[in-house]
Amino acid sequence: MKLLSGIGSVVLTFLAATGRVAVFAGSGLSHCFRPPFHGKQIIRQLIEVGFYCLPVVALTTLFSGMVLALQSYTGFARFSAESAVANVVVLSMTRELAPVLAGLMVAGRIGASMAAEIGTMRVTEQIDALSTLSTHPMKYLVVPRILAGLTMLPILVLIGDIIGVFGGYLVGVYRLGFNAVGYIEQSWSFVETLDVVSGLVKAGVFGFIVTLMGCYHGYMSRGGAQGVGIATTNAVVSSAILILVANYVITESFFSK
Amino acid sequence: MTKSSKITWRDVHLAFGPKQVLKGINLNVEKGESLVVIGGSGSGKSVLIKSVLGITKPDTGQVIVDDQDIVGCSARDREAVNAKIGMLFQGGALFDSISVWENVAFGLIQTGAARGSIARSRAIDVLGRVGLDKTVADLSPSELSGGMQKRVALARAIVNEPEIIFFDEPTTGLDPIMSDVINQLIVSCVRDLGATAVTITHDMASARTIADKVAMLYEGQIIWHAPVAQLDFPGNEFVEQFVHGRGEGPIQMTVRQ
């Protein structure tokens, strides 16, 4: 009986949390389409997500592309398929690695800082102050961040795709001795529009997840510094898990036969 | 409710989960009156004023501002009511991502009442009224002392020339001299604006300086409400104990051994 009530309590808590996130997401999205819009805040968040995350996304995708080329070469050499390295790099980067790695890195870099900033605003009554100053906190704090996540992550991933393929090219040409023109030609001819588009769709969804989780956990934080710390951790962990789940779902919807 | 009532709480009940915070509040503040609400920590004083701002919503009862019940009112009505109110939060609740003058002018800019250089000069004028010169205008709130932050928060509360001003523990954390300076500023601002003021405080010196009337909140109910002149001889043993800060009396502090 105790076990059943324990399971029931966990399920109810999970469902309640899911409901709260869904209501928060619905409210955030609906405010995206209703004026007033806080242009200054939107620009600030676009810079925060797009510009300040670029170095970390670039480095991650560069080294992932390089490692991928090296690993696939050593693996494929076992059955004399070394020539497929360029194909594997371009396909893996565009479809999977660039969006997932960028999503995870942005979750660590931006999701955490959003949760910490909004959480601190919550516990110091700055969010209450906003509503007393004729400003809807959802419009001022949440909408700019969600818009920034939705728009900037696909751009970051597009740049990450190019840098990742370039990483594979560097290793392929300068370390493994592939022909430079041949490597580029092979990558270019193998990649299809759907590969890139699926990655960009994933990026948009991951951007939404990261910013939503950062805002949600920050907005709901309670109880001072400890509450803000918990919110920050929860934002990163829940973003990472949701990114991986959403990655599978989107991959299924694009590529299942 | 009398003819000149500005704010009336009528049989207001409010609970957070199992904890009943307000248990049938009946209280009236007349136009132009300065009411101070005293009571122990956690007695629900802040919740009382937040119920007017819409930050907390009563479970039952009415909160009436200018003859209009604002519990569950539409977003537009809520905005109109909040536009009449200025609020000084306990910790100041200044936005740390923007400068001092932008904090003061925040409400003006958001409502479109003033923009750019006009908003800035209005903010500097009001900063002057609270005894701060224009050299602080471009500083960040974190660069100011506690007393200066309180003054900036006061400037932000009065910049819109509100009809109602709430002060949530305005002198907490300040030295006695700075407390008196803030008290005098509150008195002069309220008098100059002809505003109705509700102040939450534990500070009896503050209550004596600011109040026309004093109300005491105890265990979720208003147990005493009288002119400030009666504060020293209230004829109520709870108020007497609180005003004189005695450990012995009908109010028992729960101290875990």
Those residues of chain B that have pLDDT short of 50 are 257
Residue B2 has a pLDDT of 52
Residue B255 has a pLDDT of 56
Residue range(s) defining the domain that contains residue A59: 39-255
**Searching chain A, which residue's CA lies closest to the CA of residue B80?**
A134
How far apart CA A207 and CA A211 sit, in angstroms, is: 6
**Searching chain B, which residue's CA lies closest to the CA of residue A127?**
B93
Could you tell me where the DSSP H helices lie in B194-247?
Answer: 204-210, 237-244
Question: Closest approach of chain B CAs to the CA of A65, in angstroms?
Answer: 38
Instruction: Determine, yes or no, domain membership for A95.
Output: yes
> For residue B241, how many other CB atoms are within 10 A of its CB?
16
Two tokens at B226? 């009288």
Asked if residues A195 and A94 have their Cβ atoms less than 8 Å apart, the reply is: yes
Q: Could you tell me if A128 lies within 8 Å of chain B, comparing CB atoms? A: yes
pLDDT-based confidence at A78, cuts 50/70/90? confident
What's the ipTM? 0.87
Residue B254 has a pLDDT of 63
Beta carbons of A128 and B86 less than 8 Å apart = no
Instruction: Determine, yes or no, domain membership for A6.
Output: no
Asked if residues A40 and A140 have their Cβ atoms less than 8 Å apart, the reply is: no
Q: Kind and range of the H or E element at B165?
A: strand B164-168
**Searching chain B, which residue's CA lies closest to the CA of residue A126?**
B93
Question: Closest approach of chain B CAs to the CA of A135, in angstroms?
Answer: 7
**Searching chain B, which residue's CA lies closest to the CA of residue A135?**
B110
How far apart CA A111 and CA B66 sit, in angstroms, is: 43
pLDDT in tens, A148-207: 999 999 999 999 999 999 999 999 999 999 999 999 999 999 999 999 999 999 999 999
Q: Could you tell me if A27 lies within 8 Å of chain B, comparing CB atoms? A: no
pLDDT beyond 80 at A142: yes
pLDDT-based confidence at A1, cuts 50/70/90? confident
DSSP B23-86: EEEEEEEETT-EEEEE--TTSSHHHHHHHHHTSS--SEEEEEETTEE-TT--HHHHHHHHTTEE
- First-residue to last-residue Cα distance in chain A: 44
Asked if residues A110 and A53 have their Cβ atoms less than 8 Å apart, the reply is: yes
Mutate to test the interface with A, among B85, B89, B102, B198 (most CBs of A within 10 A): B89
Residue A165: closest CA among A87, A104, A51, A255: A87
Q: Could you tell me if B89 lies within 8 Å of chain A, comparing CB atoms? A: yes
For residue A126, which residues of chain B lie inside 8 Å, CB to CB? 93-96
Residue B104 has a pLDDT of 95
Contacts of B140 (CB under 8 A, 6+ apart): B96, B99, B100
Instruction: Determine, yes or no, domain membership for A198.
Output: yes
pLDDT-based confidence at A35, cuts 50/70/90? confident
For chain B, domains (ranges, CATH) are 31-60+86-244 (3.40.50.300)
Q: Could you tell me if A135 lies within 8 Å of chain B, comparing CB atoms? A: yes
Phi, psi of A32 (to 5 degrees): -65, -25
Which residues of B, range 134-173, sit inside 8 Å of A by Cβ?
A: 156
How far apart CA A192 and CA B100 sit, in angstroms, is: 53
pLDDT beyond 70 at A138: yes
For residue A124, which residues of chain B lie inside 8 Å, CB to CB? 91, 93
For residue B53, which residues of chain A lie inside 8 Å, CB to CB? 128, 131-132
Token match 């509040």: residue? Answer: B25
Residue A22 has a pLDDT of 95
How far apart CA A192 and CA A161 sit, in angstroms, is: 13
Q: Could you tell me if B257 lies within 8 Å of chain A, comparing CB atoms? A: no
Instruction: Determine, yes or no, domain membership for A23.
Output: no
Mutate to test the interface with A, among B46, B70, B87 (most CBs of A within 10 A): B87
Residue A223 has a pLDDT of 84
Asked if residues B131 and B181 have their Cβ atoms less than 8 Å apart, the reply is: yes
Instruction: Determine, yes or no, domain membership for A107.
Output: yes
How far apart CA B196 and CA B216 sit, in angstroms, is: 18
- For residue B128, give the amino acid letter: G
How far apart CA A126 and CA A114 sit, in angstroms, is: 15
What are the angstrom distances between the C-alpha of A52 and each of A106, A114, A205?
10, 13, 20
Asked if residues B243 and B204 have their Cβ atoms less than 8 Å apart, the reply is: yes
Instruction: Determine, yes or no, domain membership for A219.
Output: yes
Q: Which of A121, A124, A134 sits opposite B111 (nearest CB)?
A: A134
Q: Which of A124, A126, A128 sits opposite B55 (nearest CB)?
A: A128
pLDDT in tens, A43-66: 999 999 999 999 999 999 999 999
Instruction: Determine, yes or no, domain membership for A250.
Output: yes
Q: Could you tell me if A125 lies within 8 Å of chain B, comparing CB atoms? A: yes
Residue B124 has a pLDDT of 94
**% of chain A residues with pLDDT over 90:** 89
Mutate to test the interface with B, among A134, A135, A140, A222 (most CBs of B within 10 A): A134
Residue B256 has a pLDDT of 53
As for how many domains chain A has, the answer is: 1
Instruction: Determine, yes or no, domain membership for A137.
Output: yes
